[in-house]
Structure formats: C-alpha cells, structure tokens
Amino acid sequence: MARLKTTHDIFSAIGEPKRRILIEQLVLKEMAVNELVDIVKWPQPVVSKHLRVLKQVRIVSERKDGRRRLYKVQPEEFRPIQEWMHQFEKYWGGSLDQLDSYLVEIQERGKK
Amino acid sequence: MARLKTTHDIFSAIGEPKRRILIEQLVLKEMAVNELVDIVKWPQPVVSKHLRVLKQVRIVSERKDGRRRLYKVQPEEFRPIQEWMHQFEKYWGGSLDQLDSYLVEIQERGKK
DNA sequence: CAAATATATTCCGATATAGGAATATGTCTG
DNA sequence: CAGACATATTCCTATATCGGAATATATTTG
C-alpha cells in the first residue's frame, strides 16, 4: 500500500501547508478564487485544486455568484480536531497567564 | 514538485491515522514498542517507523531502558496546533453548554 | 454571437511516502 | 559466548499526491 487520500480526512487535509494558508484567509471572509490568487500568488489551478480538497472534506463551502465562486470556511467542521486536541490540554499546566485570549474571554464570561 | 515530507511538520505528522492512534496510546502512559504492537496489532516495523516520524517532529520522546525503548507523548508540542485552531473557536458560538470540559474547568478556576 | 473573464479539469511527471519482508543492531541471560 | 529478546533499518513496490501546462467550461458583456 501507499499514501492515504488527503481528500477524505480533515486531519490530513490540513496537513498540507498551502491549504492551511487558504483556510487562514477564508476564515476571515468569504472570497472568490481570484482574490485568493492575488493574495497568495500561486497559479490559479493550484488554488482551485486545493480548494477542491478543502471542499470535499467540508472544511470550506462554495457558493456561485455569476462567473465567480465564493468560498468560505465552515468553522464547525474543525470541532473534531479541537476535540482530539483536548487530550493534551490536560497536561499543559493551568496558570492563567499561559492561556490565550480566547480562554481568558471564556473565563471572564464564567465570572458573570 | 511533489509531496511534502510529513517528517518535518507536526500538522502533517498527525495527518496519518495510524500515527494518531499511537499518540492516543502514548499520551496515556509511557510505553515500549512491543506494548504498542500488542495493542494495535500492526507489524513491529510499522510501529517503529511511525514512532520514528513522531520522534522527528518532537511529538514523542524516546528513552532507553535496557533492550527496550520507552516512548511517550510531549504534550507541549501540540501547542502550535491548538493555537492555530483558535481562529475557528471564535465562530463556534459561545453558549457554555457547548464547551468542553477543559474550558469549563478553566472557567471554574476563573470564578475563584 | 465573439471576446473577455473567472474558474475548473485533464494530462503529465517527479517524488515522498506506507507497508511488507528480510535483516541488522543492541542487550540481556544462562 | 550463544541464544533469546526487543527494536531499528534497509530494500522494495505500489500509489497518492503536488504542481505545471494546456485546455475545457461557464458566464458576462459589447
């Protein structure tokens, strides 16, 4: 046997650095392919191919707008990864100043 | 060009399902190769090879004990992944009952 | 409709695996 | 030291990508 399809697994889908870069853009706002091309400076087919993989694993969604296709991230789809990560958090030690802003925010919310 | 080395990147290292299974065991306790083989039922060289990749990206550490080699997870090394994930958490909606136990724990800590 | 624009798809080649099989290496024990 | 035991390494093959180049497929516009 050989490689696994990156196309059927969220974990391997985000294993590819270029795909992570696309995700980082698409989480900020919905964008057309050419906007992404302008930002990342890769050939358009390269962008389109990576978008296809991301779409197949449901990490991004696609929407038609005339001759353009608008892509955006589906944040809920990252939940499984986040949940998988929790097995390590226990061991990170808990002093608050080590925590990122999100956790602090949650904590503040809890105080109310 | 072709594939990227999974061997130099934590994200792609955990993209391989078998490696995630090994991690899930080694985070629970330090283990020798044969113990892992007994659990996962793969050929020993397969286990050793995956361990090597995990060791190279620093996700697991190795320690000699006689003729055995004991491996364990280095949880801090998952921090970059966790941090990368935070960009999505913002969009997950914030009701507390959707949060996992870790966050609740942190929150409780904040209340004190 | 023809040209322009936006994007996807196909065909290609190079390469990095993953796993199997066999073997090498290191260590303990009688 | 010889054999057993634990693990790593090497060699091999099949295969799944990446990315490049060219092209196909919409869709809009003059």
In the DSSP assignment, the letter for residue A29 is: S
SS3 for A31-97 is: EEHHHHHHHHCCCHHHHHHHHHHHHHCCCEEEEEECCEEEEEECHHHHHHHHHHHHHHHHHHCCCHH
Strand D proximal to A77 Cβ, under 7 A: no
Residue A91 confidence (pLDDT):
86
Phi, psi of B105 (to 5 degrees): -60, -45
Residue B12 confidence (pLDDT):
93
pLDDT at A3 over 80: no
Residue A94 confidence (pLDDT):
58
Structure tokens at B34: 């044969």
Residues with CB under 7 A from strand C: A 1-4, 32-35, 37, 44-45, 47-49, 51-52, 62, 67-69; B 1-7, 16, 18, 42-43, 45-46, 49-50, 53, 64, 66-67
Q: Which of A63, A65, A33, A66 is nearest to A51 (CA)?
A: A33
Domain boundaries, chain A: 1-73, 79-112
Residue B103 confidence (pLDDT):
60
CA torsion sign, A28 to A33 to A39 to A44? Answer: positive
Residue A2 confidence (pLDDT):
54
Q: pLDDT class for A7, splitting at 50, 70, 90? A: low
Is CATH 3.40.430.10 the classification given to domain B1-73?
no
pLDDT at B112 over 80: no
Residue B111 confidence (pLDDT):
59
Residue A97 confidence (pLDDT):
47
Residue A13 confidence (pLDDT):
95
Strand D proximal to A22 Cβ, under 7 A: no
pLDDT tens-digit readout, A25-68: 999 999 999 999 999 999 999 999 999 999 999 999 999 999 99
B-chain residue closest to A93, CA distance = B76
pLDDT tens-digit readout, A84-110: 999 998 887 655 545 555 555 655 655
CB atoms within 10 A of CB B95: 8
Residue A93 confidence (pLDDT):
66
Structure tokens at A98: 């080590």
CA distance B59 to chain A (A): 11
In one letter, which amino acid is A59? Answer: I
- Predicted TM-score of the model (pTM): 0.85
CA torsion sign, B8 to A88 to B62 to B28? Answer: negative
From the number of C-beta atoms within 10 Å of its C-beta (0-12, 13-18, 19+), residue A3 rates as exposed
Mean pLDDT of A66-72: 98
pLDDT at B29 over 50: yes
pLDDT tens-digit readout, B75-87: 999 999 999 999 9
Q: How far is CA B3 from each of CA A15, A65, B6, rounded to the nearest angstrom?
A: 11, 33, 9
